[in-house]
Amino acid sequence: MNAMPQAIQAAPLLRVSGLTKWYGQIIGCRDVAFELRPGEVLGIVGESGSGKTTLLNCISGRLPPSSGSVEFDTARFGLADIYSLNEPDRRRMQREEWGFVHQNPRDGLRMRASGGANVAEPLMNLGGRHYGKMRQATIDWLERVELDTRRIDHKPRQFSGGMQQRIQVARNLIHGPRLVFMDEPTGGLDVSVQARLLDLLRELVRDLDLAVIIVTHDMAVARLMADRLMVMKGGLVVETGLTDQVLDDPQHPYSQLLVSSVLQI
Amino acid sequence: MNAGSNAPERYYNYAYLDEQTKRMIRRAILKALAIPGYQVPFGSREMPVPYGWGTGGIQLTAALIGPDDVYKCIDQGADDTTNAVSIRRFFAQVADVAVTEDTGEATIIQTRHRIPEKPLKAGQVLVFQVPQPEPLRGLEPRETETRAMHAYEEYGLQYVSLYESVATYGRIASTVGYPTMIDERYLMNPSPIPKFDNPKLDDNDAILLFGAGREKRIYAVPPNTRVRSLDFEDHPFETQTWDDACALCGAGDSYLDEVVLDDAGQRMFVCSDSHYCAERRAAGHAGPMAGHQLATPETEPAQ
């Protein structure tokens, strides 16, 4: 057994250990631990209220956990606990190395600025001061997410839900992040739009060799996107493993229920 | 009639505000001068004019003024508009100061929306009335977030508004309240002065103070501070220009207001700085419409 897969040998990009979040007496998530390698896609599945979003918010530096640590392989400080970095450093690291795709594009886009400005904003945040170059990069990215580049100056509300989601994807990838968080990126879209967006996301993730943590309650999305799955229930991780393994041969009774309740057509 | 401020019997405190308030405002001013461009919160008081009429500027002036000051007040560059006249009379009455329209003679100049054309000298104080001190507010409505952005120098967002402007108009089209960087540290909204005046902020010999009464913020640019107007590398900052010169005094280097003369499309351009224009006319300069009735406005009735 010396032919270990490349992904397992690489140093971890993200290491989460003992992560627990209490909301007063109520448990958000408890004792979560995992590692993520560069280029790996981790799916977090579970029913509503199972702690998926709490976990994602804790990992992405938006919600300090009650205990436990989240270490990320930062470009400037090496592997460091993100909550022990001071606030400007953490914000800078989030800006430079991470992306966050919200379920609702309204949360992730500036609705008052045009689509093009939304896509270009990360470049300006990282010090881009040349309009022509940023404009060109924006156009390139709109093409990449298959949007009509003639609509670059339209406001987000003039786009459909699926198009808004594409703008959000472009905005979160234009600055070349290493880790992207996605919270139900295809939620609220109809099935055909969802399929096209998933296809696009899969292609981009592979081309850019991105590490992704994707939260979803949709088994089909998990099957298509994720290399590895974590199944959550009541704030606990009840099962973890390769996606095909978990979906084809679920061990935990809850995972079995989850897989068997997928609608078949 | 109120008694003069130095009379034995007075019905209000000198310069209207009570001493504790003036002291608090002076401390805020000192802090603002120590951190150029930083918005210092202060306990803004009710003033005898509504918000938006210059309550921030009036409070700054009241905290600074003394009996030997010479006070000038302008609104859009003009000394003779209602707002300017009212505030000037207010301080003539409550602070017993000499008032003037002469930019060179004044020690405190309170202004709304303009910087006088005549260069300011060391020892002068220019007080701006500011409606919205936060340059990032248009794109980021959360105060907690904009404070963090100032603290950590995260000013990429301001460029989003410039980007939008170039994308829409092909150039940076905003003309007033053009964002500036103070000493390469704090982003500052220079109150709604036209961007024509932005270069005058840079390396100015006078003290520039900004007061926002409703928003309860004071900020300042100390003398001879570097003030840079934001721009893109391929769309550099530029000021407004006019094809015409002032119709009354012929000045080609001042900020011009367009005045519509009749409903047949007749119009003229005149200096917005009324004292600058009058001084040039007195020195013998004449524009194409010299002698027009606008050149001889009604004189202020004796107080």
Q: Which pTM does this prediction carry?
A: 0.87
Tell whether the torsion through CA atoms of A49, A52, A53 and A55 is positive or negative.
Answer: positive
A218: closest CA among A249, A243, A186? A186
Residue B3 has pLDDT above 70, yes or no: no
Catalogue the long-range contacts made by A56-59 (C-beta closer than 8 Å, 24 or more residues apart). A56/A181, A56/A183, A56/A213, A56/A215, A58/A19, A58/A21, A58/A28, A58/A29, A59/A14, A59/A16, A59/A19, A59/A181, A59/A213
B131: closest CA among B185, B176, B72, B191? B191
> What SS3 string covers chain B?
CCCCCCCCCCCCECCECCHHHHHHHHHHHHHHHHCCCCCEECCCCCCCCCCCCCHHHHHHHHHHCCCCCEEEEEECCECCCHHHHHHHHHHHHHCCCEECCCCCCCCEEEEECCCCCCCCCCCCEEEEECCCCCCCCCCCCCHHHHHHHHHCCCCHHHHHHHHHHHHHHCCCCCCECCCEEECCCEEECCCCCEHHHHHHHCCCCCEEEEEECCCCEEEEECCCCCEEECCECCECCCCCCCCCCCCCCCCCCCCEEEEECCCCCCEEEEECCHHHHHHHHHCCCCCCCCCCHHHCCCCCCCC
Element containing residue A88 per DSSP (H, E):
helix A87-97
- Residue-range domains of chain A with CATH: 4-106+178-263 (3.40.50.300)
**C-alpha distances in Å from residue A24, one per residue of A27, A28, A54, A66, B172:** 8, 9, 14, 10, 50
Average pLDDT estimate for B46-67: 94
Q: What is the mean pLDDT of chain A?
A: 91
> Amino acid letter at A77?
F
How confident is the model at residue B299, as a pLDDT?
Answer: 58
Judged by DSSP in three states, A35 sits in strand
How confident is the model at residue B302, as a pLDDT?
Answer: 47
pLDDT digits (tens, 9 = 90+) for B204-230: 999 999 999 999 999 999 999 999 999
Average pLDDT estimate for A60-80: 94
- Single out the catalytic residue among B56, B57, B213, B271: B271
Residues of B with Cβ-Cβ distance to A124 under 8 angstroms: 156-157, 159-160, 163
- Smallest CA–CA distance from B150 into chain A, residue: A88
Give yes or no for a contact between B217 and B40, defined as CB atoms under 8 angstroms apart: yes
- Single out the catalytic residue among B57, B277, B284, B287: B277
B56 catalytic, yes or no?
A: no
B73 catalytic, yes or no?
A: no
Residues of A with Cβ-Cβ distance to B139 under 8 angstroms: 110, 112-113
Average pLDDT estimate for B235-250: 92
> Amino acid letter at B223?
P
pLDDT digits (tens, 9 = 90+) for A182-209: 999 988 788 888 888 899 999 999 899 8
- Smallest CA–CA distance from A110 into chain B, residue: B139
Residue A37 has pLDDT above 50, yes or no: yes
Residue B247 has pLDDT above 90, yes or no: yes
What is the signed CA dihedral for B190, B196, B197, B201, rounded to 10 degrees?
A: 80
Q: Percent of chain A at pLDDT above 90?
A: 75
Q: Report CB contact under 8 Å: A110, B160.
A: yes
Q: What is the mean pLDDT of chain B?
A: 91
Structure tokens at A22: 């209490």
Question: How far is B297 from chain A, CA to nearest CA, in Å?
Answer: 44
- Single out the catalytic residue among B56, B73, B77, B249: B249
Residues of A with Cβ-Cβ distance to B234 under 8 angstroms: 130-132
Residues of B with Cβ-Cβ distance to A61 under 8 angstroms: none
How confident is the model at residue B8, as a pLDDT?
Answer: 64
How confident is the model at residue B2, as a pLDDT?
Answer: 52
pLDDT digits (tens, 9 = 90+) for A87-120: 999 999 999 999 999 999 999 999 989 999 999 9
Average pLDDT estimate for B13-19: 92
pLDDT digits (tens, 9 = 90+) for B282-297: 999 998 888 887 766 6
Query: In angstroms, rounded to a whole number, what is the distance separating the alpha carbons of residues B9 and A262?
Result: 88
B246 catalytic, yes or no?
A: yes
How confident is the model at residue B138, as a pLDDT?
Answer: 87
Interface check A117 vs B, CB under 8 A = yes
Question: How far is B125 from chain A, CA to nearest CA, in Å?
Answer: 34
Residue window 26-85, chain A: list those with CB within 8 Å of chain B.
none
Q: Report CB contact under 8 Å: A87, B157.
A: no
Query: In angstroms, rounded to a whole number, what is the distance separating the alpha carbons of residues B62 and B56?
Result: 10
How confident is the model at residue A1, as a pLDDT?
Answer: 42
Question: How far is B152 from chain A, CA to nearest CA, in Å?
Answer: 6
Q: Report CB contact under 8 Å: A112, B233.
A: no
> Amino acid letter at B256?
L
Residues of B with Cβ-Cβ distance to A120 under 8 angstroms: 160, 163
Residues of B with Cβ-Cβ distance to A87 under 8 angstroms: 148, 152
Q: Grade residue B1 by pLDDT with cuts at 50, 70 and 90.
A: very low
Structure tokens at A179: 């880790």
Residue A143 has pLDDT above 70, yes or no: yes
Interface check A157 vs B, CB under 8 A = no
Interface check A124 vs B, CB under 8 A = yes
pLDDT digits (tens, 9 = 90+) for A243-263: 999 999 999 999 999 888 887
pLDDT digits (tens, 9 = 90+) for B139-182: 899 999 999 999 999 999 999 999 999 999 999 998 999 999 99
Lowest mean pLDDT of A196-210, B113-127, B182-196, name the range. A196-210
Question: How far is B140 from chain A, CA to nearest CA, in Å?
Answer: 9
ipTM computed for the complex: 0.85
Q: Grade residue A7 by pLDDT with cuts at 50, 70 and 90.
A: very low
